[in-house]
């Protein structure tokens, strides 16, 4: 088990749709452990495989919502949601991302979400939620479709995010950071 570098917006691996997992073996179990270790070190709510450069369709989550801890993983997730609001989100309805470090933007999400998929052994599973866990399920599933939450922003929030990406020079591949060290690295 190890902590791996997290890719930062601008890397094409974050916008490439994931490939379905077909091998349910010890290597997959070890990889999921690495996802959990990396997410924990980064103090994240969830982490998708492509955020650490792996193309497989798998994500982990570990968060507290309404005083209850939710921890798990989903392989080959399929998302279903209630309607997603199309109006400007509440300014306090902030969302962040480990691949967009230190930035938070108001983001509209569906109130309810359900993800179906399988666990690391190939057994079917379903995770259904409202609130923060529902947001996390949508966020991580978006990653696996090649979509960062920044693409869901509208209006002034979208303009501010574009400006931030340009100012931080996140327009080229290879930027990453290693949780636990707080070091952001650039390609050489």
Which residues are part of the catalytic machinery?
Answer: 140
- The C-alpha atoms of residue 170 and residue 103 are separated, in whole angstroms, by 13
Known binder of ligand: residue 139? yes
How far the first Cα of the chain sits from its last, in Å, is: 27
- Look-up: residue for tokens 């470090």? 101
CB neighbour list of residue 77: distance below 8 Å, 6 or more residues apart: 57, 59, 115, 116, 117, 137, 140, 141, 144
- The C-alpha atoms of residue 106 and residue 128 are separated, in whole angstroms, by 23
CB neighbour burial string for 87-110, b if at least 16 within 10 angstroms, e if fewer: eebeeeeebbbbbbbebebbbbbb
Known binder of ligand: residue 136? no
Known binding positions: 97, 139, 143
């Amino acid at each position: 088990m190890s902590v791996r570098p997290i890719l930062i917006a601008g890397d094409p691996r974050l916008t490439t749709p994931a490939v379905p997992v077909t091998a349910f073996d010890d290597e997959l179990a070890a990889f999921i452990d690495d996802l959990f270790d990396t997410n924990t070190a980064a103090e994240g709510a969830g982490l998708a495989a492509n955020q650490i450069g792996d193309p497989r369709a798998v994500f982990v989550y570990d968060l507290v919502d309404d005083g209850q801890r939710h921890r798990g993983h989903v392989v080959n997730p399929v998302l279903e949601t209630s309607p997603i609001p199309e109006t400007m989100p509440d300014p306090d309805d902030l969302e962040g991302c480990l691949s967009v470090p230190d930035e938070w933007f108001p983001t509209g999400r569906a109130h309810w979400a359900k993800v179906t998929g399988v666990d690391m052994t190939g057994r079917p599973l379903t995770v259904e939620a409202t609130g923060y866990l529902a947001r996390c399920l949508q966020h991580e599933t978006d990653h696996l479709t090649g979509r960062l939450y920044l693409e869901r922003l509208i209006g002034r929030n979208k303009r501010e995010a574009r400006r931030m990406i340009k100012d931080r020079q996140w327009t080229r591949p290879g930027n990453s950071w290693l949780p636990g060290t707080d070091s952001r690295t650039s390609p050489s």
